[in-house]
Structure 1
Amino acid sequence: MEKLKCLVLDDEPIGREIIENFVSEIPFLELVSSFGDPLEAMTFLQANKIDLIFSDIQMPKINGLELVRALENPPVIIFITAHRDFALDGFETGATDYLVKPVRFDRFLKAVNKAKDYIELKQGSTVHQVNSDRIFIKSDGKLTKILLDEILYVEAQGDYLKIVINNETYTTLATLKSMDEVLNLPKFFRVQRSFIISLEAIRSLNGNMVELTNGKSISIALNKKEELFQILGIR
């Protein structure tokens, strides 16, 4: 894996220097830039690709939480704060971790390793097709075999997929597009942006809703309804 490109943001020079020194001690991190002004950092982030941001929360003009929310595709975030109360708000923005000042190196290293694991998982494929009737997915830190005939539906939930089979549910870090390439016709159909269903699992159709054998009801996108009916042989 290439070095992770990092940006440090803190309006306090001492705080920036501490994190910059910590970054320089970790071989797989590369400090690309460091800012004391959040607006300058935002301008830089809009024009440059960064893997990981270390950002203070309390800053003038715009705080760290507001900055992240303003970014269209924010990098992985580790927030730094003097107040533990801000931690919950940080996690609500999708932050991987948060560090409380004064930051200790051992705690910094733990947060960085967590971010590294997340980035590697996100960049790598978590859905592996081994033959036409089964796949392996990364779930709960292990590879789990799933038989395609057992899948009822797959739901996109942010960066994750929820895969529902006859008696169990699995969650894995992957896109619905990557799963769509595995679950092809004639057994599966993408009924809308967030759902792929098994055609064998359809119990009934009512208007723009499809009910599955487990009782789950899912809406059908208007531009998908005619295609689904044709596949099912319904005129």
Structure 2
Amino acid sequence: MIKYIIVDDEHIAHDIIKGYCDALPNLSLVQHCYDAIEAMEYLRNNKVDLIFLDLNMPKLKGFEFLKILQHPPNIIVTTAYKEHAIEGYELNIVDYLLKPFSFERFIKAVNKIEKDKEVIQPTLDAKKEEDSLFLRSNKKLIQVKIETVLFIEATGNYVKVVTKTSEIQVREKISDILKLFPTDEFFQVHKSFIVAKKHINEIEGNRILIDDYIIPIGKAYKSNLKILLK
């Protein structure tokens, strides 16, 4: 379970973030903080995995607060000011959400947290097969276990995530969807295809066989194939 706090001086922001979080598993709200001082007081005696952090707050600005934290947890910035994004990434934030942000954009940020092994897999013997993520398809959120994904195919403005039992169509770029999956397990082998290494049955010439599917290998992605075969 990911324990999180919301640090924002606007009550409506708290309501929106909490409402989004309530729709997702593995997220547990432990404190509402309406300024950075209140957050500092809470963090003195409590540990959290994630902070949703506003920037323009009274008393102490968001990044000023972040800079004085000795061991900051994962930070997702939620702000109306896009000009501070570069500074945010220099401070190793997870993501930078511009208000008003959609639920779909919010999920992308949270999925980055869920890939963090220290949060989801706190012990070495934790099972990676239990990892999952949520994909939005036809106005629904579908939970997909990463271990079941065979390959991903780009089709126009959508990508098709093919699992052992289903095909899920998501309105997303293939380059963005790749970021959601473990980089040591999923490889792009064609401009339109990403494959799961563990499900490859055969590699023959310029094609990959996964179950009954044939995946082409693009010339520009031969180097990825060499990495895959190590």
Report TM bin, short chain. Answer: 0.5 to 0.7
Identity over aligned pairs, percent: 40
Select the residue among 25, 28, 49 that pairs with 1:27.
25
Alpha-carbon distance between aligned partners in 1 of 2:87 and 2:68, rounded to the nearest angstrom: 15
TM-score, normalized by length of structure 2?
0.52
Alpha-carbon distance between aligned partners in 1 of 2:54 and 2:101, rounded to the nearest angstrom: 11
RMSD: 2.1
- Structure 2 equivalent of residue 67 of structure 1: 65
Specify every segment of 5 or more residues in structure 1 that has no aligned partner in the other structure, as ranges.
Answer: 127-138, 144-235
TM-score, normalized by length of structure 1?
0.51
- Structure 2 equivalent of residue 16 of structure 1: 14
User: Structure 1 residues 122, 93: CA separation in 2 closer, same or farther (over 3 Å shift)?
Assistant: farther
TM-superposed CA distance for 1:121, in Å, is 7.2
Question: For each residue in 1:103-160, what CA deviation from the matched residue of structure 2 results, as whole angstroms up to 9, or x when unmatched?
Answer: 211111110010111244774559xxxxxxxxxxxx94249xxxxxxxxxxxxxxxxx
TM-superposed CA distance for 1:93, in Å, is 1.1
1:87 lines up with 2:85 in the alignment: yes
Alpha-carbon distance between aligned partners in 2 of 1:122 and 1:37, rounded to the nearest angstrom: 31
1:45 lines up with 2:43 in the alignment: yes
Alpha-carbon distance between aligned partners in 1 of 2:67 and 2:18, rounded to the nearest angstrom: 24
TM-superposed CA distance for 1:23, in Å, is 1.2
Corresponding letter in the other structure for 1:115? I
TM-superposed CA distance for 1:10, in Å, is 0.6
Contact 2:2/2:119 (8 A) holds in 1: no
Contact 1:46/1:71 (8 A) holds in 2: no
Select the residue among 107, 110, 115 that pairs with 1:109.
107
- Structure 2 equivalent of residue 98 of structure 1: 96
Q: Secondary structure at the match of 1:103?
A: coil
- How many pairs are equivalent? 129
Select the residue among 5, 8, 15 that pairs with 1:7.
5
Question: For each residue in 1:22-78, what CA deviation from the matched residue of structure 2 results, as whole angstroms up to 9, or x when unmatched?
Answer: 111111100001111210111101210100000101111111111111111111000
Q: Which runs of 4+ in 1 moved over 6 A?
A: none
Q: Secondary structure at the match of 1:20?
A: helix
